[in-house]
Amino acid sequence: MIDRDRFPVDPWHLIERGYRHEDAGVTETLFAVGNGYLGLRGNHIEGRHAHEHGTFLNGLHETFPIRHAERAYGFAEVGQTIVNAPDAKVMRVYVDDEPLQLDTADLHDYERNLDMRDGVLRRRLVWATPSGKRVRIEDERMVSFTERHLAVLRLTVTVLDADAPVTVSCQLINRQDGEDVYGGSMHAGAHGFDPRKAEAFEQRVLQPVDYWQDRLRTALSYRVTESGMTLALVADHIVQTENGYTTRGLIEADIAKNVFRVQAHAGVPVTVTKLVSYHTSTGVPAPELIDRCRRTLDRAGALGADALFAQQREWMDAFWKRSDVVIGGQPELQQATRWCLFQLAQAAARADSLGVPAKGVTGSGYSGHYFWDTEIYVLPFLAYTSPLWARNALRMRSLMLPAARRRAGQLNEAGALFPWRTINGEEASAYYAAGTAQYHINADVCYALAKYVRATGDNDFLFREGVDIAVETARLWRTLGFWRVSDGVESFHIHGVTGPDEYTTVVNDNLFTNVMARFNLRFAARTVREIAALDGEVYRSLIARLDLEEDEPDAWDRAADALHIPYSAALGIHPQDEVFLEREVWDLESTPPEQRPLLLHFHPLVIYRYQVLKQADVVLALFLQGRHFTMDEKLADFEYYDPLTTGDSTLSAVVQAILAAEVGYQDLALEYFQQSIFVDLADLHHNASDGVHVASAGGVWTALVAGFGGMRDHSGELAFDPRLPAGWDHLTYALQWHDTPLTITVTSNEISFEVGEGRDVPLSVRGVPYFAASGQTLRVPLRGQGPLFPGRPTRGHLAGARREDGTLLSASVPTVTATIPIIVEAEELT
């Protein structure tokens, strides 16, 4: 899948040997650097020929009216999309007044290196100029994890074999609102219809406020036209050389230049360091943000670039100590794993109570929106390795509660309804069937809250802020659902919702939604009762703050106990929703590759008529709420749904890998895992150019720890049942459990738990309880790695299967070649 001559295997680095323009969009993503707040795409410093010249600030967005062809009450009215911040990466090099242009340059050496231990992107090349001079160019780029608002760019130019005039032109460019001097635009590489891409604006987005130059310090600031946000960036420049040089500057509203003209002697290097600070706000005036940038740069300048790089390495050492996953004997997977974990740090570390966008800060894909991806796919990694980051991500949801309450009221429900996609807390999805109807996001947020509290024991956060989320989300389920009585038995139903599978929308009793709502209701009831029992003052404050009725927890429990969980006795599986099995089966095996993904080739109504999945839905419920399903039920459901799942969503393969490993399809689990881990590195979905698939990267960690490592924490109890793939020497991963570090190692015949300083940890291995003592190592022998089934489930598993009404299941592909669809039942599913 990957050209290993160009991208060699290395456990700690992603290395590119050989420049190519053809896949610039993908490599810009792969070599992006960020810290969760500020992100710089992997554009070359020459500033030419990019797919997307991207600099992104988490939360910096513009708003716009959503124009519905036909409006209705409650539709989302205001869209949001991320803004491309002014670009500070440009440091152009001229020798003999000839520019370095990678697409035409005579390069005698080239290497780009994303160093995941140092947290630094480096590039080294040797350029033979048209006049025959050899020039070594070395540059490095870092977005600081310790200084949230700081980026450091350092360039060294050495003419190796002759004297020559060298010019370095450092620039700040507002690309959002126009083209640079070379004509490169923000979305030069975008083409065709793809709903996953960001919106583009015809009008000006960034309105200039204040801009100035003071010797080697340059400032630009703006106000975002409609959202009213403000932005400032300030750059300092430091020149180090024994050559003589002069400086000149240029400052305009949308471009600033600091130009250094050097009379370079052979072998005498010229180093230019650019320190750049970005600050944003939802209400602070731009001049105040300039002052904040200046203070950031004053601190950075006092430390110096070398100390800043050293700080970055120290930070990275601590991150890897608590986060690394080691796969013995699998160097390719090891490299890809660390790249994925590094992306999670770059997406979440300094989000600091902002959300984690679906693309992090590496691209404009999905418009910079926050989805339920964070809570289900990213937050588990954060909670078990860097709990503060998880707490910050949950605080983002807490801060969104006022908007979520308004949205619930707009949809005639009590409590709060979190938006399916958003930046500022308001629903930004124009297509309600696959957007607003995904009410399950409420339960996903509550699930993430519970996951964090169970892993950390942080009842302080739960009692002060988290309980508000639990209560308000539970209130929505109680009014959204309704009661029915059949044969004297009460049941609680939820209609008109969309589950995680966006190829099946607005259905009744979606299994995933009902199972997760049941969890949400019970967690809220239990939390309120715990507060009442433990802290009367906090409980009284809760009652006053939320106007909580005394009987609400009992009502939540009653609804949870009666929630309808669909089940088909005829097929022995859980239907995805109440009518899912009534649809015809989409014959994925006969669907041409050129018609994938389905969402780009078929009208939604065509897709909605079939049993076909964009992503795992029931299977995800089997994992998240696994203790409520037997192993036989999991196996039957997995075998039914796996052949129906397209994998058109990058969120799907990680969950399929986990369940495949658990039920015994272990070779298939490894196949799905490889699809997940290389989704960006090998551009498997052909859209890595839009930014990193952050949720997939988070899912890779979960697949390793929960899938192959076998870890579960249902009800706050650690349990392990490993599934080490054949050919892996060992799997080692780290967890934080109530402030106690654990290092777990799985081999073919043993699982061991090395417990750091902290508290003793009770746990179980394959149902047997153990006690892992602080400061000691517990070793538990293993017999095998669980059940084993060869191959993968196919439609053959459904051969002869009949629905509840006795009709035979059959498969077809939508076609316009016949006016009357004909399905011959005998051919069907064999």
Please report the sign of the dihedral spanned by the C-alpha atoms of residue 795, residue 800, residue 803, residue 808. Answer: positive
Q: Output phi, psi for 203, to 5 deg.
A: -90, 170
Q: Quote the tokens at residue 203.
A: 């009008």
Q: How far is CA 584 from CA 17, 612, 801, 830, in A?
A: 49, 9, 13, 15
Q: How far is CA 320 from CA 314, 323, 380, in A?
A: 10, 5, 16
Report the distance separating Cα 250 and Cα 694, nearest Å: 38
Write down the catalytic residue from 413, 502, 662, 828: 502
Rounded to an integer, what distance in angstroms lies between the CA atom of residue 231 and that of residue 281?
7
Whole-angstrom Cα distance, residue 6 to residue 800?
A: 50
Range 65-68, long-range pairs (CB < 8 A, 24+ positions) = 66/428, 66/430, 68/430
User: DSSP state, 198?
Assistant: P
C-alpha span between 688 and 680 (Å, rounded): 5
502 is an active site residue:
yes
Cβ atoms of 773 and 759 within 8 Å: the answer is: no
Number of H helices, E strands in the chain: 20, 32
E-strand ranges in 677-730 read: 711-712, 718-720
From the CA atom positions of the chain, what is the Rg in Å?
28
C-alpha separations of 283 from 27, 56, 280, 528, 611 in Å: 35, 19, 9, 36, 48
d(CA 354, CA 36): 9
Separation between Cα atoms, residue 743 and residue 737, nearest integer Å: 11
- For residues 689 and 677, give the distance between their C-alpha atoms in angstroms, rounded to a whole number: 16
CA angle 687, 816, 605 (to 5 degrees): 55
What is the CA 131 to chain-centroid distance, rounded? Answer: 47
The three-point CA angle 471-475-479 to 5° equals: 175
User: Which own/partner contact pairs does 68-71 have at CB distance under 8 Å and 24+ positions apart?
Assistant: 68/430
Is the omega angle on the peptide bond into residue 597 within 30 degrees of 0, that is, cis? Answer: yes
What are the CA-CA distances from residue 154 to residues 36, 378, 761 (Å)?
A: 21, 32, 47
**Which helix or strand (DSSP H or E) is residue 577 part of?**
none
Active centre residues (catalytic): 502
